[in-house]
Amino acid sequence: MPMLEIEAINSFYGDSHVLFDVSLSVEEHEVVAILGRNGAGKTTTLKTIAGVLAPRSGSIRLAGESIHGLPSHLIARRGLQLVPEDRRIFTTLTVEENLRLATLITPAARPIDEIFSTFPNLSERRRALGGTLSGGEQQMLAIARALIRSPRLMLLDEPFEGLAPVIVDDLVSLCRQLAQSGVTIVIVEQDVRAALLLAPRVYVLNNGHVVFEGTREALQADPDLTTRYLGMGLETGGFSNL
C-alpha cells in the first residue's frame, strides 16, 4: 500500500485552474522529487496534499485512508508534515522553545535530545533566538520541528532555496539520513541536482500537468525533456556517484 496516493486532483486559486488531473504515488520509506519551472504547480501540489488548499475533484489517500477535504491540522495529526518554503519558525523564541512548542500538539513527539543528536548544529544553538540563526540553521530548525512530531510523511518545499552550496550539501546529507531512518519524503526543489541526489524517482510538472514520471536515470537520459521543462541538461554520468 502506498504511503501517499493522489488520483486526478484539480486545484484552483479562485477561478484560476492550476492543477489538472495530477496523479502521483509515493511508497513507504521512499523519497520522491517533484520538479518543474517556477509556476509549474509544484508548491500548489504540496499545499493540496497538506490540506492548505482543497482540491475541487480527485482523491488523496495517506496510508490508504482518505484525507481529501480534511483541514490541514487534522491531516497533520495523521502523520503528514509540510515544511513550507518560508520556514515559518518563531523568530522571537529560542531553538529549543520552537521545538518544545511543536511537541505540545503532538501525542507521540520524539524526545528533544534525540532531535538534537540528529541536528548537532541546532544543539549548539539551542538557546539562540530563531531570528538570529543563519538561513541554513533556520531550514534545519524547520525540518527538526516537523521531525519531532514523528511524521510518516514529510513534504519539503524548496528546502535549499537561497542557501550556499556548502550548506546545501549539509542539508542533502541530513535529508539522506532521515530517509535512511525510514521517513518518507516528497521534495519540491528548484535545485534539480540536489533534489536528484536525494530522490531516486521523479515527477515533472509543467503548467499544472504531470509531463514525466520515472527514475532519475530515465530523466537524465532525456535531454529534450530536461531542457524543455527544467531549463537545463543532465549530462550522462552526472550521477554516477549515487
pLDDT (tens digit per residue) in 67-106:
998 999 999 999 999 999 888 999 999 999 999 999 987 8
Q: How far apart are CA 11 and CA 35, in angstroms?
A: 18
For domain 1-79+152-236, give the CATH number: 3.40.50.300
For residue 97 the three cell numbers come to: 522553545
Mean pLDDT, rounded, for 46-61: 96
The counts of H helices and E strands in the chain are: 10, 10
Helix axes 95-103, 135-147, angle to 10 degrees: 20
CA–CA distance, 237 with 242 (Å, rounded to integer): 10
Longest Cα–Cα distance in the chain: 50
Question: Is the pTM for the entire model greater than 0.85?
Answer: yes
In angstroms, rounded to a whole number, what is the distance separating the alpha carbons of residues 24 and 233?
Answer: 24
Q: Which residues pair with 61 in a beta bridge?
A: 5, 66
Q: How far apart are CA 10 and CA 19, in angstroms?
A: 5
Domain ranges for the chain, please list them: 1-79+152-236, 88-150
Buried b (16+ CB within 10 A) or exposed e, 22-33: bebbbeeebbbb
Q: Which of 235, 174, 190 is nearest to 33 (CA)?
A: 190
Question: pLDDT tens digits, residue range 191-226?
Answer: 898 999 999 999 999 999 999 999 999 999 999 999
- 2-6, 61-65, 134-138: the lowest-pLDDT one: 134-138
Residue 195 CA to residue 119 CA, distance in Å, equals 20
From the list 11, 40, 5, 43, the residue with the least C-alpha distance to 24 is 5
Question: Is the pLDDT at 237 greater than 60, yes or no?
Answer: no
Question: For residue 152, which of 83, 65, 62 has the smallest C-alpha distance?
Answer: 62
pLDDT above 90 coverage of the chain, percent: 76
Across residues 10-17, what is the average pLDDT? 96
The torsion of the CA quartet 106, 110, 113, 119, rounded to 10 degrees, works out to -100
